[in-house]
C-alpha cells in the first residue's frame, strides 16, 4: 500500500478545486444573464453539425443524506415535484427556440437529486416532452443516476424502453454502521437485486458510486464493500473523496468532525481502494474513476481522447453542454451559464418565457488555453507541448515558463516525484495522479483571493 510521510500529506492535502470547469464556478458573475446566454446559443446554432450534450437536473429526494453536497430539494409532495417538471419542459422549449429544434444529441443525462423519485409514467412524459425539441442519436450515451432505495425494476424497464443504455448507482458504502452514521439506509440486498435486474433487462454499461472518508469507515469495512462491488463486476466505478464542507452545506454538521478518518487513514483508504480495484482488473481513469479495459472510457484513455464535462468523464470531446433545471450549468460557445438555484426564481423566469440564468462567465483566450491544459491533466495525466502549439499557436515553454519553473523548483512537484517535466511534455506520475488537483492548480490563473477562503474540499 502507498505510504507517504505525514509532512508531505499535510503539505498537499489542502483545499482546492476539482476542476469540473475552468474557471471554476467561484468565478461566475451576476452580470452574465439570459441575453448573454441567448447569444451563445445562437452562435452554436450557426454550426448545426457541432456535437451537443443535454443534462437534465431532477433535484427531488425523499430525504437528505447527511454526507450529500449536491443541490437537492427534499419533499414528499408530488404536486411540487410535478410543477418542477412542467418548468423543465417549458425551459427545453425556450432553449430550442434559440438553439434550433431537433438538435442532435450525442449525450443525454438525467442527474439529481433522485431522477427515479418520479414514477415510471412521469418519466415517460418528461422524456417524450424533451425529445420533441432534441433528437437523440442512435449511438448516443443515454444515462441516468439511480438510487437503489427508491428505484424499482419497473423504473429500469421503462427507461430501457425509452432508450437509456447507461446507469449510475448511488452506493457510497455498504457497511450498515457507516450508513447509519450518514443517514442512508440502503441494504446490500437492495443494491445487488437492483443491479442484477438491470443486467437482466439488458443494461451493459453500469457505474457504481462509492465514497471514502465517511464516518465509521475503516480499511476492513471498505474491503468488505469492495468484495461485494467487485463481485458484481460493474463496468465503471467512481470513487469520490467525501467533501466535508459544513460551511457550505450546513446539514453536514450532523456529522461530527471527530468521527471522520484522519488524513493518513483517509489516504490509506484511497491507496487500498486503488490497489484492490487494479488487482481486480480495473484501470485507473482520470481522477476518482476506474473502468474495465473494454469500457469506452478505457479506450478513450488509451487513445488520449478522454475528456470531462459537468456530467463526468466522457468520450464526447468538444461537445457543448446544455443544462436544464435548477442550478444546471451549460457550457457552450466559450461561456458557462448557470440556471437559478432557487425554485422560485427559476419558476419566475421560465413562466415569463425567459432563459432562467442566474450567473455565468465568458472565457478569455487565456482561459481557453488553460482550460485545455487542466482538462488534459485531469483526464489524460499529461500536457503535450506539440498539442498546445497545434491548437492555440503558442509555444508552451515560453508562455508557461512561470508554471514550468514552479513545477521544477526545489521542493516543487517534480522534486516530490509527482510530475516528470520533459522537453516535450509534462507527465503526471502515479503519485501525481493521486494529487492531480494540486498539479492542475499550478496552471490556474484565478487562485488569488479565493485561495484564502474555505471554498473547496481537500485534495484527499
Phi, then psi, of 249 in degrees rounded to 5: -120, 90
Q: What pTM value is reported for the model?
A: 0.94
Residue 458 lies in a domain: no
Residue 391 lies in a domain: yes
Same domain (yes/no): 378, 318: no
Give how far Cα 53 sits from Cα of 50, 201, 303, 315, Å.
Answer: 10, 25, 21, 11
Helices 188-201/219-232 angle, 10° precision: 20
Asked whether 98 and 38 are in contact (CB, 8 A), the reply is yes
Residue 278 lies in a domain: yes
Q: What CA–CA distance (Å, rounded) separates 352 from 436? A: 44
- pLDDT for 63: 77
Same domain (yes/no): 107, 10: no
DSSP strands (E only) in 113-215: 134-146, 166-172, 206-212
Q: Give the 3-state DSSP-derived string for 284-350, with helices as H, strands as E and coil as C.
A: EECCCEEECCCCHHHHHHHHCCCEEECCEEECCCCCEEEEECCCCEEEECCEEEEECCCHHHHHHHH
Give how far Cα 179 sits from Cα of 187, 217, 353, Å.
Answer: 9, 10, 43
Same domain (yes/no): 11, 67: no
Phi, then psi, of 88 in degrees rounded to 5: -60, -45
Contacts of residue 359, Cβ cutoff 8 Å, sequence gap at least 6: 28, 29, 30, 32, 338
Same domain (yes/no): 37, 141: yes
In DSSP terms, which residues pair with 168 in a beta bridge?
A: 145, 207
Residue 257 lies in a domain: yes
- The total number of structural domains in the chain stands at 2
Please report, in tens digits, the pLDDT of each residue of the chain (460 residues total).
567 788 888 888 888 888 999 999 999 999 999 999 999 999 998 887 788 999 999 998 877 777 777 778 887 777 788 999 999 999 999 999 999 999 999 999 999 889 999 999 999 999 999 999 999 999 999 999 999 999 999 999 999 999 999 999 999 999 999 999 888 888 999 999 999 999 999 999 999 999 999 999 999 999 999 999 999 999 999 999 988 877 777 778 788 888 888 989 999 999 999 999 999 999 999 999 999 999 999 999 998 889 888 888 888 777 899 999 999 999 999 999 999 999 999 999 999 999 999 999 999 999 999 999 999 999 999 999 999 999 999 999 999 999 999 999 999 999 999 999 999 999 999 999 999 999 999 999 997 655 555 567 788 8
pLDDT tens by residue, 318-341: 789 999 999 999 999 999 999 999
Last residue of a domain, one of 260, 294, 323: 323
Same domain (yes/no): 118, 183: yes
- CATH of residue 151: 3.80.30.20
Q: What CA–CA distance (Å, rounded) separates 430 from 189? A: 35
In this structure, the chain runs to a length of 460
Last residue of a domain, one of 273, 306, 323: 323
To the nearest 10°, the Cα dihedral for 245, 343, 116, 65? 30
Same domain (yes/no): 164, 110: yes
Residue 81 lies in a domain: yes
Same domain (yes/no): 54, 13: no
Same domain (yes/no): 15, 123: no
Residue 331 lies in a domain: no
Last residue of a domain, one of 323, 350, 372: 323
Closest by CA position to 242, among listed 265, 223, 220: 265
Question: Residue 398 sits in which domain range?
Answer: 1-23+364-450
pLDDT tens by residue, 119-149: 999 999 999 999 999 999 999 999 999 999 9
Same domain (yes/no): 397, 317: no
Same domain (yes/no): 15, 55: no
Residue 349 lies in a domain: no
Residue 119 lies in a domain: yes
Same domain (yes/no): 258, 383: no
Cβ-count burial of 129 within 10 angstroms (0-12 exposed, 13-18 middle, 19+ buried)? middle
Contacts of residue 344, Cβ cutoff 8 Å, sequence gap at least 6: none
- CATH of residue 1: 1.10.10.920
Same domain (yes/no): 68, 132: yes
Amino acid at each position: 500500500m502507498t505510504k507517504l510521510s505525514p509532512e508531505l500529506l499535510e503539505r498537499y492535502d489542502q483545499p482546492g478545486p476539482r476542476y469540473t470547469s475552468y474557471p471554476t464556478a467561484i468565478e461566475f458573475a451576476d452580470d452574465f444573464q439570459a441575453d448573454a446566454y441567448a447569444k451563445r446559443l445562437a452562435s452554436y446554432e450557426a454550426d448545426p453539425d457541432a456535437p451537443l450534450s443535454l443534462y437534465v437536473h431532477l433535484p427531488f429526494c425523499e430525504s437528505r443524506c447527511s454526507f450529500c453536497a449536491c443541490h437537492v430539494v427534499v419533499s414528499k409532495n408530488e404536486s411540487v415535484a410535478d410543477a418542477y417538471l412542467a418548468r423543465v419542459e417549458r425551459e427545453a422549449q425556450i432553449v430550442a427556440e434559440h438553439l434550433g429544434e431537433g438538435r442532435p444529441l450525442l449525450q443525454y443525462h438525467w442527474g439529481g437529486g433522485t431522477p427515479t423519485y418520479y414514477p415510471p409514467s412521469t418519466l415517460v412524459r418528461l422524456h417524450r416532452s424533451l425529445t420533441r425539441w432534441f433528437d437523440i442519436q442512435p449511438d448516443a450515451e443515454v444515462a441516468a443516476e439511480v438510487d437503489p432505495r427508491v428505484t424499482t425494476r419497473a423504473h429500469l424497464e421503462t427507461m430501457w424502453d425509452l432508450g437509456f443504455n447507461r446507469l449510475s448507482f448511488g452506493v457510497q458504502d455498504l457497511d450498515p454502521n457507516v450508513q447509519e452514521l450518514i443517514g442512508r439506509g440502503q441494504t446490500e440486498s437492495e443494491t445487488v437485486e437492483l443491479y442484477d435486474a438491470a443486467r437482466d433487462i439488458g443494461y451493459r454499461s453500469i457505474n457504481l458510486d462509492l465514497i471514502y472518508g465517511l464516518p465509521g469507515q475503516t480499511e476492513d469495512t471498505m474491503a468488505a464493500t469492495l468484495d461485494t462491488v467487485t463481485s458484481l463486476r460493474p463496468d465503471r466505478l467512481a470513487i469520490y473523496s467525501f467533501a466535508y464542507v459544513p460551511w457550505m452545506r450546513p446539514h453536514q454538521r450532523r456529522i461530527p468532525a471527530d468521527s471522520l478518518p484522519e488524513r493518513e487513514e483517509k489516504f490509506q483508504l484511497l491507496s487500498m481502494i486503488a490497489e484492490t480495484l487494479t488487482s481486480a482488473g480495473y484501470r485507473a481513469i482520470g481522477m476518482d474513476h476506474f473502468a474495465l479495459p473494454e469500457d469506452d472510457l478505457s479506450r478513450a484513455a488509451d487513445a488520449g481522447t478522454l475528456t470531462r464535462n459537468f456530467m463526468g468523464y466522457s468520450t464526447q470531446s468538444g461537445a457543448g453542454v446544455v443544462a436544464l433545471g435548477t442550478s444546471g450549468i451549460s457550457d457552450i460557445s466559450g461561456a458557462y451559464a448557470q440556471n437559478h438555484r432557487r425554485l422560485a426564481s427559476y419558476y419566475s423566469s421560465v413562466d415569463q418565457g425567459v432563459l432562467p440564468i442566474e450567473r455565468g462567465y465568458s472565457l478569455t483566450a487565456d482561459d481557453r488555453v488553460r482550460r485545455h491544459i487542466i482538462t488534459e491533466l485531469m483526464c489524460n495525466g499529461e500536457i503535450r507541448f506539440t498539442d498546445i502549439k497545434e491548437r492555440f499557436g503558442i509555444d508552451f515553454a515560453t508562455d508557461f515558463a512561470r508554471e514550468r519553473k514552479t513545477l521544477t523548483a526545489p521542493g516543487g512537484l517534480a522534486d516530490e516525484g509527482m510530475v516528470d517535466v520533459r522537453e516535450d511534455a509534462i507527465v503526471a506520475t502515479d503519485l501525481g495522479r493521486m494529487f492531480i488537483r494540486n498539479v492542475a492548480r499550478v496552471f490556474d490563473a484565478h487562485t488569488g483571493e479565493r485561495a484564502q477562503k474555505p471554498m473547496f474540499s481537500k485534495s484527499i
